[in-house]
Amino acid sequence: MTPKYVIWFHTESLRDRQDEDLDREFTVEDLTREKALRNYTQFNELLVLTGARDLIIGGQAPVITELLEHDPYYLLEDWRSELLGTPSIMTHTICNSDLFERQGCKDSAETLTRMLEANIRIINLCKDSVLFPDDAHPGGAAHRSLFEKIIDYI
């Protein structure tokens, strides 16, 4: 039996980094995009294999839409920022800030500082929001509103 729908709660692309990715020089943005492209290619292959319709929910990190290899059936680019009432912040480093200290990281101190400040802003907004009861993950009320957004698509 093949699924009719695949719901992807999109997370930080950098979670899929490998040790060998860090044995070379990189910028955080380039590494993020490289890992995202790999994820998006594999996701597209899954959709082709199953013939399923997809619902992509930008969760822990926004979807990098220009790298998608297909037009999603449903796309919520950055659910977290929507819940927080803030413009989308393109960060995939909240759980990967160790990259900033890697010898191969070629980002400037100013760039790394901007990334850290963006991460801190998101973390603080989540801590201050009742929609994130554990200060990190959307709770029941947030999931109920998401259900109401997508129910007509499934």
Three-state secondary-structure class, residue 10: strand
pTM of the model: 0.91
**Residue 133 domain-assigned (yes or no):** yes
The domain tally of the chain equals 1
**Residue 114 domain-assigned (yes or no):** yes
**How do residues 102-119 score in pLDDT, each as one tens digit?**
889 999 999 999 999 999
Neighbours of 119 (CB within 10 A): 19
**How do residues 48-58 score in pLDDT, each as one tens digit?**
999 999 999 99
End-to-end CA distance of the chain: give it in Å, rounded.
17
**Residue 153 domain-assigned (yes or no):** no
**Residue 101 domain-assigned (yes or no):** yes
Q: What percent of the chain has pLDDT over 70?
A: 100
**Residue 154 domain-assigned (yes or no):** no
Q: Which two tokens stand for residue 18?
A: 């490998």
**Residue 18 domain-assigned (yes or no):** yes
- Rounded mean pLDDT of 114-129? 95
Q: Output b/e per residue, 19-43; b: 16+ Cβ within 10 A.
A: eebbeeebebeebbbbbbeebbeeb
Q: Which domain holds residue 116?
A: 5-148
